[in-house]
Structure 1
């Protein structure tokens, strides 16, 4: 006999928790299935966002201490990694207090711990018990892509899933394999804690999904902090636990010794053991086949979070949950997935924050827009806080006439706290606000977000044609 529910959610990470709690709150009979009780909270709480940001917070204290030396302070020594990790795990524990199976059960949510697998198109088996539901959401997340080269099994390698628990001592030398967000964030953090850090990056620049000029700014800051970067390079083998052979530009080879190496070469969707073939759920190139409504090839099964294979952000899971819940209740006017309503941040210093539509995307769709580039060179707050290297790039719609409406379509910023600074721009984009709103806003002086107004000022000053100036002059004298 099958246990019947309105909704079954597999995976208790960001997507699974959001989906099951949202449905439970409005009275839907929900079953949440998680394979491992210690993994409730998913990658974000246990291995990703929370531990990495706590580590970055500690590393920032060390960086600020060293920066104060020019003003007379003295900074000596390296971080005690055991104490650093005590702090990291302590912050995780604060959040885990309300992200665990017992807490969820006290809230009235049914939670089963065990491996879920499909036995047919509508039935899931867990611990020798069968379950079925009107709809099923796969929120099984993702895992780090493994580095499969000669000797990797013997090398002292870590991923984000093992770094915060298995690394017991601050490495004198850290090799970071991969120049994406995880690699960049951890490279800078460990350098600030006291490790010598080398990044091996296959591409020709760090943060390759961001604007090229932003990569250049970030790399200059990394180099100032003493981080070594090898571009167009890849690890081709390991010799023992602590030596890597690196191929550079497919020409020369270099051996690099290290105490620990972090593998950050991307992520893959977790689908093993689910029995997707028995549920008529197609998989291509390691990803679940879904449509623009996040629906799989089985009409009753959907995906959320990393399981979609679209992007690997915890807030991306939140976005998917909102879309799915809306579509479940308004099926005749379903909302499609879009990247236009997404933002993301790389939490290095400086941060890189991106939101909305890209220049490439706008050109592909033949959207009439204009790019605005705003330097921080002459921004008063950037001058006082010493980040004049910062830059903001916005894409705005062109006005039909000089008093017409101009809206923000997307953009990117690189600066300290860029992730916070772009949020009002992202809100303006989502609300389709006229850029005049920012132009007319009176900001407290000298808050950092005044840079957003400075960028939109160019739209108004661009309206001041010689003819308009003559008209305004006449009106003033009149």
Structure 2
């Protein structure tokens, strides 16, 4: 952090309307955790927030999306049970579907609001913060000088330039889609990341005519080509997807005030037009700390607005008194990571370094809650392949004929486990298939606790479960390692 001359600091202090030991900017998951921990050691602390005082997860993310998916899964099971000799047709009440999403979301949010309401009013500031050139925090009519600052301003949806003006009220994002009071008849989803896939499939299962567009022929950011291709095969059984498509124009159809259109071109060169009720733009989320003025705290940002010199365990910027945590630092924009970073930063602020490091550094771990689920944990295949010092094998299992998966009628999937020859340990894994969320957690535990393949296989796997597929993949890793060792010992060319 750039040091200001003493005279500048004195001038800034004299202009301040309030001086505090700690200021937390942003009251999402990371900010709330940071505030709670820092409040244990600092009484003169404020938390500044612009917008809702809950969290992205509860308000516009994890929870409302899973509520929608839960309804969609019920409808899908009712409509697709003929193979089991069960014949039914789901009667979908769109208004009731969305009402439950709203009601349960409010229920989850109420728990957080209750906690926030218990904080002293004098420590909460409702307003948009900006850091001025003197390093003072401008908010409402106050100028606040803080000795230590935690930035936890989260992220917001990214909308390509001009799209908002062209699409008008037909434009939806993950921040607005859950405000619907009824289901639309038709929808385009732009983006095949986690948000796009989950919502495209959920609305499809709820009877909405959905078309998904993506610029590249990849889904969920998958980097293992075999897993990506399998995911596409599984998902296209019920989703209409135009992967590798180019959007040339979009807007509201002339002569209408509520019909959206998208002019697109497929990778084959064929051009076409989609028309429908709304366009869900799911092109990712971006942090917005550049607008906050963090450079006036001496924070440098790279070309993607990510803070440089970031301690990924605590969010501290270099040796400064500034911490940037959660989605704001764009390190790993996931709730459990934001929670840990906020907790650590709040403890670091109070010099409670022992508690600041009670959690191990987060390993990459992501789950997409489409069906079949998609999971990535640890190092990706390209990362492993680019490391010249790593020798690896890929253990594989298909879920197409895996016992319990076939019994349940969810038998479409593939798991790859990347094993290190030198250590017999797991480097990472990628999967599309049933129960991927649970298999991912088991593998994350194994990687975090440095378990080797033998230790994993010494664990009981109950029969019949989908998790037996994990054992099959681990055995494949072990088998390929044994063959590799035999080749090294005998130097046979055909190994």
2:391 to 358, 368, 373: 368
| 1:11 partnered with 2:26 | yes
Aligned residue runs from structure 1 range 279-290, under 5 A? 279-285=297-303, 287-290=305-308
Aligned residue runs from structure 1 range 147-226, under 5 A? 147-149=160-162, 152-154=166-168, 156-165=170-179, 167-226=180-239
Deviations, residues 152-175 of structure 1 (Å, cap 9, x unaligned): 24461101111111x333222211
| 1:65 partnered with 2:78 | yes
Q: Is the 8 A contact 1:375 1:391 kept in 2?
A: yes
* Distance of aligned partners of 1:339 and 1:258 in 2 relative to their CA distance in 1, 3 Å threshold: farther
Corresponding residue of 2:116: 104
* Distance of aligned partners of 1:370 and 1:233 in 2 relative to their CA distance in 1, 3 Å threshold: same
Q: Secondary structure at the match of 2:187?
A: strand
Q: Whole-Å Cα distance in 2 between the matches of residues 452 and 71 of structure 1?
A: 26
1:434 to 443, 452, 458: 452
Aligned residue runs from structure 1 range 21-420, under 5 A? 21-25=36-40, 30-36=45-51, 39-76=52-89, 79-100=92-113, 103-106=115-118, 110-120=123-133, 122-149=135-162, 152-154=166-168, 156-165=170-179, 167-240=180-253, 241-249=259-267, 251-271=269-289, 273-285=291-303, 287-293=305-311, 294-296=315-317, 299-322=320-343, 324=345, 329=351, 341-365=363-387, 366-399=389-422, 406-420=424-438
Corresponding residue of 1:450: 468
Corresponding residue of 1:472: none
Corresponding residue of 1:402: none
Deviations, residues 73-105 of structure 1 (Å, cap 9, x unaligned): 4433653222111111122122212212x5324
Question: Once the 2 structures are TM-superposed, how far is the Cα of residue 327 of structure 1 from its aligned partner?
Answer: 5.6
Report the TM-score when normalising by structure 1: 0.85
Question: Once the 2 structures are TM-superposed, how far is the Cα of residue 108 of structure 1 from its aligned partner?
Answer: 5.7
Q: Whole-Å Cα distance in 2 between the matches of residues 393 and 84 of structure 1?
A: 36
Deviations, residues 222-266 of structure 1 (Å, cap 9, x unaligned): 322252434332252324342221133394431111111101112
Q: Secondary structure at the match of 1:161?
A: coil
- Hey, which bits of structure 1, 4+ residues long, moved more than 6 A? 337-340
Q: Is the 8 A contact 1:421 1:448 kept in 2?
A: no
Question: Once the 2 structures are TM-superposed, how far is the Cα of residue 45 of structure 1 from its aligned partner?
Answer: 1.3
Q: Which moved more, 1:187-196 or 1:272-281?
A: 272-281
Q: Whole-Å Cα distance in 2 between the matches of residues 75 and 118 of structure 1?
A: 59
Deviations, residues 129-181 of structure 1 (Å, cap 9, x unaligned): 2333332111111111113347624461101111111x333222211111111
Question: Once the 2 structures are TM-superposed, how far is the Cα of residue 397 of structure 1 from its aligned partner?
Answer: 2.0
Q: Which moved more, 1:130-139 or 1:196-205?
A: 130-139
Q: Is the 8 A contact 1:438 1:452 kept in 2?
A: no
Instruction: Provide the aligned length of Structure 1 versus Structure 2.
Output: 457
Structure 2 unmatched ranges of 5 or more: 1-15, 254-258, 487-495
Q: Supply the RMSD in Å over aligned alpha carbons.
A: 3.1
Structure 1 unmatched ranges of 5 or more: 400-404, 469-478
Q: Which moved more, 1:383-392 or 1:81-90?
A: 383-392
